[in-house]
Amino acid sequence: MPEPVHTTSCRVLYGDTDAAGIVYYANYLRYFERGRTEYMRDLALTSYREIEGQGLVLPVIECYSRYKAPAAYDDLLTIETSLAELKNVSCRFNYRIYRKDGDGSRTMLAKGYTVHASVDRNGRLTRLPPQLLVTLKQNITVHI
């Protein structure tokens, strides 16, 4: 797999599961968000809070998820995140979520992407800050 791909781990909480005992499908979008947030933080860019402090927000304008296998309570998940596309006013992140299995192998549970627009507090499209663009451009890769 091409680099750089950011990796984040988390455990499935009981509240993430549905009545059947598996992760509710919409919660995979929360895992995507966790992966993206930690990716941005680990690039030493800034936190989303600091980006918003500059008057910029990055709402999700498109999302996709393909489910391959279920996750259950207490499963250890690995979230792989990469930046796949970067434009002046938008960006796309790709994700893969794996479960660590008891024998040391891993099973892909889901893959997907989110597209984000760069908007100001009034909802108008605005360019990403130059320093953010430079840093992100150095980390574009594709995996999905």
CA-only gyration radius of the chain, Å: 16
The predicted-structure confidence for 107-144, as pLDDT tens digits, reads as follows 999 999 999 999 999 999 999 888 788 888 877 776 55
Q: Which of 16, 18, 42, 74 does the annotation list as catalytic?
A: 18
Q: Which residues contact 116 (CB under 8 A, 6 or more apart)?
A: 58, 59, 60, 61, 90, 91, 92, 93
Residue 143 lies in a domain: no
100: CATH: 3.10.129.10
pLDDT of residue 46: 63
Residue 142 lies in a domain: no
Domain total for the chain? 1
Based on the residue annotation, tell me whether 101 is a catalytic residue of this protein. no
Which candidate, 90, 94, 64, 92, places its Cα nearest to that of 79?
A: 94
Average pLDDT over residues 69-92: 95
Q: Work out the angle at residue 34's Cα, subtended by the Cα atoms of residues 102 and 93, and round it to the nearest 5 degrees.
A: 105
Q: What token pair was written down for 15?
A: 């509240």
Q: Residue 32: give the domain boundaries.
A: 6-137
